[in-house]
Structure 1
Amino acid sequence: MKLMQLAISLSGAAAVALSLSGLAEAESVSSEASPIYGVTLPDGYRQWPLIAPAQEAAPLNELRAVLGNEVAIKAYAVKTLPFPDGTVLVKLAWKHTQSPEFEPASIPGAATTVQVMVKDAKKYASTGGWGFGRFINGKPADEAQHKTCFACHQALVKDHDFVFTRYAP
């Protein structure tokens, strides 16, 4: 059973990684800033290195991939905490869909959100040094959705500089 779960997880992660290039053309980068934090989608983020894949269970039921800029990748490589200013993390999310070709595997379905975290200790001092952006179809989500970002990170991962994602070497 554990071997089957591993195979499913690996096939899902591979599908997410392979889909990054195909979805890059489907979503345009928005220059619109998120409410509260003023975060925008960074130029070229779809070409950034993968930090880790993830799977979100119910109720969201999503496949996710977290990408990082050069500052983020270097910080993860040497296990730097807190993350340095200039760190940018981008989480891509898709509906978790069963593969039509191989029943135990999962593939990305419809894109759901792109979420961004930007580290600037002075600018975002009141939120642990992080600014947040959540984008749906390239447009910033409403203010109410952004108000939940820091509260969740603060409650659950304060001891890891408010970052959920761990590096998958």
Structure 2
Amino acid sequence: MKPLLLALLAALPATAAQAADPEVPYPAGYRYWQHVKSMVIEQGHPLYESFGGIHHIYANAAALEGYKAGKFPDGAVIVFDLLEARRADSAVTEGSRKVVGVMHKDAGKYAATGGWGFEGFAAGDPARRAVGANAASACYSCHAPEKAHDYVFSRLRD
């Protein structure tokens, strides 16, 4: 009985921390925001298995300010819209939506992950959260090398 009690007590801090993590909201209307850039990750790229396809990056007004200034203010939201890349007749076209990835800047709420909240919505469905409490390992760990750019990979195109 004592080992079971210790195991339960040891699990409490992690469970409480996960419950305290604020959820990143779904970015309704993001396709009307500023388009930042697009790219295609093809087979052979190291991230193909996870992120292969057509990427469109969108920024709300606060994120647009951040791209220009080099530091993003609270309220900045960046959306990574990932779609299948279909190839036919010497053309690459958009297929089904794979995920809508979101970075939401709030230095207070997301202090443990560089001030950014991360979420992925499977197939673009607001009810299908794909990241949740795994933001630190699933997203932030990859974004950490971009600290000099406020943890953001993309750059604003001229």
For the aligned pair, the TM-score class normalised by the smaller chain equals 0.7 to 0.9
- Tell me the residue number matched to 2:82: 93
- Tell me the residue number matched to 1:13: none
Q: Is 1:50 the counterpart of 2:39 in the alignment?
A: no
Distance 1:142-1:83 versus aligned 2 partners, 3 A rule: closer
Q: CA RMSD in A?
A: 1.9
Distance 1:166-1:53 versus aligned 2 partners, 3 A rule: same
- Tell me the residue number matched to 1:152: 142
Letter in 2 for 1:43: A
- Tell me the residue number matched to 2:65: 74
State whether residues 82 and 97 of structure 2, in contact with CA within 8 Å, keep that contact through their aligned partners in structure 1: yes
Q: 1:98-138: CA deviations, max 9, x gaps?
A: 1x3x41x3111121000010111111111111001100131
- Say how many residue pairs are matched: 129
Return the alpha-carbon distance in structure 2 between the equivalents of residues 110 and 44 of structure 1.
18
- Aligned with 1:46: secondary structure? helix
- TM-superposed CA distance for 1:145, in Å, is 5.5
Return the alpha-carbon distance in structure 2 between the equivalents of residues 64 and 142 of structure 1.
18
- TM-superposed CA distance for 1:37, in Å, is 4.2
Provide the TM-score with structure 2 as the length reference.
Answer: 0.73
- TM-superposed CA distance for 1:148, in Å, is 0.9
- Tell me the residue number matched to 1:41: 26
Provide the TM-score with structure 1 as the length reference.
Answer: 0.69
Letter in 1 for 2:149: H
Return the alpha-carbon distance in structure 2 between the equivalents of residues 49 and 75 of structure 1.
13
Large movers: runs of 4+ above 6 Å: none
Q: Greater relative contact order: 1 or 2 (C-alpha under 8 angstroms, separation 6 or more)?
A: 1
Q: Is 1:117 the counterpart of 2:103 in the alignment?
A: yes
- The gaps in structure 1 that reach 5 residues or longer are 1-34
Q: 1:62-96: CA deviations, max 9, x gaps?
A: 100000101112332xx312211111001100111
